[in-house]
Every structure is written in C-alpha cells, then in structure tokens.
C-alpha cells in the first residue's frame, strides 16, 4: 500500500499515480485504522501521513457541485475515519452537519463519526426518523456505491449506536443478499462483511454453534464459540445431513470448489448496445492472422477494440482482461523498441504479467478505444486461449466477452 501514497500523504487509486483519490484514501485509510486497532503493525509513517492528508482535506472541504456525486458522503467518511483513528475533527464535523442539503447517506456516516468522537446524543438525534431503505443503484465512480453498500453502512452505524433490534432487522436481508448467486463489487462485499462482523462482535450472546453432521454414514459433532465454522469434507455419497443441537438458528451451506474445464464459461451474454468489443490477431504489418495454428517464432499482436455505444453514459473504471496461452509469450513493449509501432489508446493503468495483461480505462459515450499486446508464438504444442473479457469494475451489467478456443504452435 506504500506504493499508493502520494507526496501530499493521500493514496492514489492506482499504484504510482501522482494524484490522491479522495474515496480511495478514505476506504484504504479505514482499512489501515481497523488493522491497527486489531493489533497489526503498519508500515512506518504510512498512516501518519495519510491522517495529515485527511485532516487538511477535512478542514478545507466546502460544499460544491460535486456533492451531488457523493462529495458530502466522501467528507463524512473522511471524518468517520479520523474519529475511528481517535483524531476527530469536531469543527469540520459541525460544519458538515449544518450543510442544508446533506444527503441521507452522509447523515448516517456522520452520525457514526459523532458516536466515535463521544457525542452519542448528537449521533442519535442525527439518525432519528431517517429512512433505512435505499433505492437500488450502482455507481461506476465517485464513491463506488450501491444500495447494498449503503445498507451495510447503516447497519454499522446502528450497531455502533447500540440499536440492536433495528440493526438486526437489516442484518438478515443483508446476509441473504450476500448468500445469493449475485454479483457484487469488491467495496460492496467488503463493507457488508465488515458491518456484519461488527454486529456479531457486539452481540456475543448468540455466538455458539452446536450441531452434528453425517457424511457417508459417519457422524461428527461440532461445538464452536465462533459465528462461523467450516469443515473440509470429501465424501462419495450424494447426501449430507445436519442436525442443529443448539438454541440458535443455524445456516448451513455446502460449497463445492473446482476448476472449470477449458471452454466452460459462465459469462453473461454480450450486449453490443451496452458495450461492443472486437478481438483480432494481426501480423506486425497489420494483416489479420488466424491464431488457431501459428508457426513457432511468429511475432504478432492481439488487438482489442472497445466501443461505448452511449446508451448508459460515461463508463468509468473499465477492466480489460486478456489471458494468453502458455505457448505464447508476451513481449513488453515498454522495455523495447516496439511501443511506437503498436501504440494503444490511453489507459488509466496497465498490469503486464507473465501470461496476462490487465488494462484499466475510462471511455466516453460513442468513443472507441484500441489496445494492442505484442506476442510471440514461442513453444510448440496445443494450448487453450482463454476468453477475453471487458467489464465495468463496479457494474457487471456493462460487460462483453469473446469466448476462448484451442490453439497450437507448430514447427
């Protein structure tokens, strides 16, 4: 995480960027404070510099047009993080509280900050009568929010304020959502788990598991003082039974893990009206090449064209994932003379690894971007070319995929 810290003490969204990201600094800073409070050792100076940045930002914050894209929530989260670090900025908290157009989400977050700063009555008054329901939404940028993430923040605040019954009424629906076969962003998932963990940690009376399971005719009892208990099993039968011997409701899940066979993909169907992607392979002179069979030693490149049809506006934080067969080698154009020949469109960040390339970018309405990766058919054999996928990191409704196939390299 030290590689994300900029000269002003804040944290950038991507490693090595020169400017700090406000929400990223809040989110990662929150993690650092929680880690420190849990007894973990942090890199020297990392949190101190970040707190300096947060204090400066908090003191200089003023309402502007950005508030309608989460600016007030970002300030409230910043103040929450400072209060969690036992360095509350009361003047900035009071100024934000007086903001006439303070959003409901920001009120919940600011109430949590007041509670952590020892102002319990102010916090209770702030949330009195506030609605706990949120209309469904997903943010591609700004605070990277969603209705589920906001619900988790409300759950955390109610837990902090000791409103157990009201918090419990939010806990069950949130846990049920996490248990569904539904896509959630990393921030939504992480914050939901954090809020549930804090609720469980503050309600110790029901953290006892007593049950018995039977697999292949063999029975095993379990007694645990934890909320979660997992048992690795390997059985030949097709039935499993569980008996709850405790006084609490028990939620049971059988999780099967494995690696899909080549070609077995569960991607969403392509919607060219939302995101259009075209993948081709070309020789260095620009002529199209069929990658199904390549002669060993052939230099070529993968070209991906991505277009935003404009139907859903400006797309932020897009991720293009290209995984190449082990018989092909990626030639990093940043360390040789081919970069000018294979110039790609601008991107926010690119991660080039041994067998894959991750490219992250933003794309405007009706804009087309082209990304190229230089390759060499190095090793003879038959290999699987994985699917190419492009998606919005914070909204999986925006995605496109080109399926994988078998390829070979011959002498």
- pLDDT value at position 350? 95
* Residue 220: strand pairing partners: 213
User: What are the angstrom distances between the C-alpha of 261 and each of 185, 357, 386?
Assistant: 26, 22, 11
Q: Is 154 exposed, middle or buried (0-12, 13-18, 19+ CB in 10 A)?
A: buried
pLDDT digits (tens), the chain, 411 positions? 899 999 999 999 999 899 999 999 999 999 999 999 999 999 999 999 999 999 999 999 998 765 556 799 999 999 999 999 999 999 999 999 999 999 999 999 999 999 999 999 999 999 999 999 999 999 999 999 999 999 999 999 999 999 999 999 999 999 999 988 899 999 999 999 999 999 988 776 666 889 999 988 888 899 988 878 888 887 788 888 999 998 888 888 888 788 777 767 667 778 899 999 999 999 999 999 999 999 999 999 999 999 999 999 999 999 999 999 999 999 987 666 555 668 899 999 999 999 999 999 999 999 999 999 999 999 999 999 999 999 999 998 999 999 999 999 999
d(CA 224, CA 226): 5
Q: Give the pLDDT confidence score for residue 36 in this predicted structure.
A: 96
Exposed/middle/buried for 257, CB within 10 Å: 0-12, 13-18, 19+? Answer: exposed
Q: Judge whether 173 and 216 are in contact, CB under 8 Å.
A: no
pTM of the model: 0.88
Name the DSSP class of 360. Answer: E
- In contact, 395 and 142? CB cutoff 8 Å: no
Under 8 Å between Cβ of 179 and 135: no
For residue 137 the two structure tokens come to 């939404």
- State both tokens at 403: 């399926």
- For the stretch 65-101, what's the b/e string if a residue is b when 16 or more beta carbons lie within 10 angstroms of its beta carbon? eebeebbbbbbbbbbbbbbbbeebbeebbebbbebee
Structure letter (DSSP) for residue 16: T
Q: Which two tokens mark 214?
A: 């039977």
Give CA–CA dist 277/370, Å, rounded. 10
What are residue 407's DSSP bridge partners?
Answer: 383
* Cα separation, 137 vs 154, whole angstroms: 16
Our separate counts of H helices and E strands in the chain read 9, 15
Domains in the chain: ranges and CATH: 2-204 (1.50.10.20), 207-244 (no CATH), 276-410 (2.60.40.690)
**Spatial distance between the Cα atoms of 348 and 140, rounded to a whole number of angstroms:** 15
- Predicted pLDDT at 334: 64
Give the per-residue pLDDT at 404. Answer: 92
DSSP assignment string, 126-164: HHTT--------B-SSTT--BHHHHHHHHHHHHHHTT-H
């Amino acid at each position: 995480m030290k590689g994300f810290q900029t000269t002003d003490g804040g944290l950038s969204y991507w490693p090595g960027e020169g400017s700090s990201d406000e929400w990223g600094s809040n989110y990662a800073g929150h993690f650092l404070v929680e880690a420190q409070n849990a007894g973990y050792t942090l890199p020297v100076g990392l949190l101190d510099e970040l707190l300096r940045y947060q204090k400066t930002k908090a003191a200089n914050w003023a309402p502007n047009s950005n508030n309608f894209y989460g600016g007030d929530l970002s300030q409230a989260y910043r103040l929450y993080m400072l209060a969690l670090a036992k360095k509350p900025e009361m003047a900035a908290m009071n100024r934000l509280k007086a903001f006439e157009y303070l959003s409901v989400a920001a009120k919940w977050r600011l109430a949590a900050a007041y509670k952590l700063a020892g102002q319990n009555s102010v916090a209770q008054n702030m949330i009195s009568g506030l609605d706990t329901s949120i209309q469904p939404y997903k943010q591609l940028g700004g605070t990277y929010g969603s209705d589920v993430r906001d619900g988790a923040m409300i759950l955390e605040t109610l837990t902090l304020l000791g409103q157990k019954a009201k918090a419990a009424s939010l806990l069950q629906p949130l846990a049920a959502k996490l248990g569904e076969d539904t896509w959630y962003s990393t921030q939504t998932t992480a914050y939901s788990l954090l809020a549930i963990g804090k609720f469980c940690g503050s309600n110790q009376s029901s953290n006892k598991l007593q049950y018995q399971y039977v697999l292949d005719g063999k029975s095993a009892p379990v007694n645990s003082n934890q909320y979660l208990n997992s048992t690795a099993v390997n059985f030949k039968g097709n039935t499993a039974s569980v008996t709850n011997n405790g006084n609490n409701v028990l939620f049971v899940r059988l999780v099967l893990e494995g690696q899909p066979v080549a070609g077995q993909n569960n991607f969403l169907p392509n919607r060219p009206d939302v995101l259009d992607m075209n993948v081709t392979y070309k020789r260095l002179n620009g002529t199209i090449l069929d990658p199904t069979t390549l002669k060993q030693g052939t230099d070529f490149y993968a070209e991906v064209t991505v277009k935003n049809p404009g139907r859903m506006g400006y797309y932020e934080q897009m991720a293009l994932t290209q995984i190449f067969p082990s018989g092909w080698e990626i030639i990093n154009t940043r360390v040789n003379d081919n970069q000018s020949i294979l110039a790609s469109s601008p991107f926010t960040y690119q991660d080039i690894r041994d067998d894959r390339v991750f490219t992250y970018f933003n794309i405007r309405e009706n804009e087309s971007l082209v990304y190229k990766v230089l390759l060499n058919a190095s090793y003879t054999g038959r290999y699987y070319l994985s699917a190419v996928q492009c998606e919005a990191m914070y909204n999986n409704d925006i995605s496109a995929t080109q399926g994988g196939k078998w390829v070979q390299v011959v002498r």
